[in-house]
Amino acid sequence: MDPYLLRYFLAVVETGSFSKAASASSVTQPTLSAGIKRLEETVGAALFVRNNKRVFLTTAGARFLPRAKTILHECNLALAEVAQGVTAPVLRLGVLHTLPSQRIAGLIKSVRAIHPNTQFELSDGTEQELLNRMDERGIDFALSIRRVEDDRSVPLYREGYSLVLPPDHPLAGAGTVRGEDMADQPMIVRSFCEVLSETSRYFTDRNVRPPLVYRTRHDERALDMVSAGVGATVMPQSYQTSYQNGAAAFVNLEGFTPTRQIGLFRPRHELPQAVRAIADDFMRQAEDYFQSTYFRA
C-alpha cells in the first residue's frame, strides 16, 4: 500500500472535497481521483460517498481512517529515525496559515542561534490539518489556535482582529470605524480567515454588503493589496507590526470582538534522541520569544 495513497485519502477526509484535497496535495484532481480509486481497489471497499456538495466517509472508510493514520505515522516515524541517523537534527513544525511569517521566522532564528546545525521542516495548514498531522506524527510541534486548555499545548498570546485600510483611505486616521461606514468600500477576503463567517455576519447584521474585489489564501498578499489601495480587509492584530510606517492602517471595527489564542502544541509522540534537547529549548524559546514582545498570553 503506497503511502501517497494514504495521504490522498487523509487529504480528502480533511478537506471534504476531491478538488480541495488535490490542491492541498499539489496534484491534479484526476490524479487524486485515480489514486483514491486504486486505494479502494486495494482495500476492496468504497471509502467515500460522493455528492455534488461534499464527500463523506462510508462505513468502511470510517473503519479504515484510524488505520490509515497509524500506517502513515509509522512510515513518517521510520523516515524520521533514518534521517536523524545520517543528517543534521530536524525539527518538524506545522504553522497555521494565518500566522505572520515574520513572527515564525523570528522564532526560528532565535532557536538556530542556540542550535545552529538544526534544520527545520515547515508545513502550513488549517487547524484541523495540523492536528491531523500531529496525530499521524508527521510533525513534531504546531503553532495554531488553542481552543481548549489542556496539557497538550502551551498558550503563547491572545489577540483580536482589526480592520485594515489603505494608507490613503479617508478613514485611515480614525481610531474606530463603524461597519456601516464600509457599505460601499471594496473588501478583500482572506480565504483561510478563521473568523470569516463572523465577519460576514457582522456586516450582514448591519445590512452592509461591501463589494468583494479579491479573494486570496495568502495573508501577506492580502496586506500588500490593501497597501496598494485595492481594498480593505479584516486581519489578526499581530500583522500590524509587519506594516508599520504608514504602509497600511489598522483600526478598530466597532462592535467586532472575536479573539484568538495562539498556542504551541507539544509532540504527541516520543521524539528521536537527537532532537530531544533541541525540542526542549524550542519550547522555552517559543514562550520567551512571543511573550517578550508586545504579545501577551
Q: Which residues have C-beta within 8 Å of that of residue 229, sequence separation ≥ 6? A: 166, 168, 169
| C-alpha distances in Å from residue 289, one per residue of 21, 73, 112, 230 | 34, 30, 13, 34
Task: Name the average pLDDT for the chain.
Answer: 90
Are 275 and 91 a contacting pair, CB within 8 Å? yes
Q: What is the DSSP string of 260-271?
A: EEEEEEPPSSPP
The answer on pLDDT for 82 being more than 70 is no
- Least-confidence region, from 70-74, 95-99, 255-259: 70-74
Angle (deg, nearest 10), helices 3-15 and 29-43: 110
Distance of alpha carbon 98 from alpha carbon 282, whole angstroms: 21
Q: How high is the pLDDT of residue 88? A: 74
Q: How high is the pLDDT of residue 216? A: 96
The answer on pLDDT for 294 being more than 80 is no
Residues of the chain with CATH 3.40.190.10: 159-259
Name residue 176's beta-bridge partners: 252
The answer on pLDDT for 295 being more than 80 is no
Q: How high is the pLDDT of residue 101? A: 92
- Least-confidence region, from 66-80, 144-158, 205-219, 225-239: 66-80
Q: Which residues have C-beta within 8 Å of that of residue 73, sequence separation ≥ 6? A: 135, 136, 137, 138, 269
In the numeric block, which cell numbers belong to residue 280? 526542549
Distance of alpha carbon 82 from alpha carbon 51, whole angstroms: 42
In the numeric block, which cell numbers belong to residue 297? 498570553
CB 118: neighbour CB atoms within 10 A? 19
Are 292 and 157 a contacting pair, CB within 8 Å? no
The answer on pLDDT for 24 being more than 50 is yes
- pLDDT (average), residues 31-36: 92
Are 34 and 9 a contacting pair, CB within 8 Å? no
The more confidently predicted of residues 123 and 81 is 123
- Among the four given CATH numbers 3.90.1150.10, 3.40.190.10, 3.40.50.2300, 3.40.190.170, the one describing domain 159-259: 3.40.190.10
Residues of the chain with CATH 1.10.10.10: 1-72
Q: How high is the pLDDT of residue 166? A: 94
The more confidently predicted of residues 289 and 84 is 289
Distance of alpha carbon 287 from alpha carbon 297, whole angstroms: 9
Name residue, grid cell 523570528: 106
Identify the top-confidence range among 46-60, 85-99, 111-125: 111-125
* HSE of 155, CA atoms in CB hemisphere, 13 A: 12
Q: How high is the pLDDT of residue 244? A: 62
> Closest Cα partner for 16 from 178, 159, 128, 176?
128
- pLDDT (average), residues 8-17: 91
Are 267 and 194 a contacting pair, CB within 8 Å? no
The answer on pLDDT for 70 being more than 90 is no
Q: What is the pLDDT of residues 181-194, one digit of tens each?
A: 999 999 999 999 99
pLDDT > 70 fraction of the chain, expressed in percent and rounded: 94
Q: What is the pLDDT of residues 245-289, one digit of tens each?
A: 668 999 999 999 999 999 999 998 888 888 899 999 999 999 998
The answer on pLDDT for 113 being more than 80 is yes
Distance of alpha carbon 180 from alpha carbon 197, whole angstroms: 18
The answer on pLDDT for 297 being more than 60 is no
Distance of alpha carbon 8 from alpha carbon 37, whole angstroms: 11
In the numeric block, which cell numbers belong to residue 15? 478537506
The answer on pLDDT for 230 being more than 60 is yes
Q: Which residues have C-beta within 8 Å of that of residue 190, sequence separation ≥ 6? A: 98, 196, 216, 217, 219, 222, 233, 234, 235
- Among the four given CATH numbers 3.90.1150.10, 3.50.50.60, 1.10.10.10, 1.10.760.10, the one describing domain 1-72: 1.10.10.10
In the numeric block, which cell numbers belong to residue 174? 480614525
**Phi, psi of 94, deg, nearest 5:** -95, 140
- The amino acid at residue 292 is S
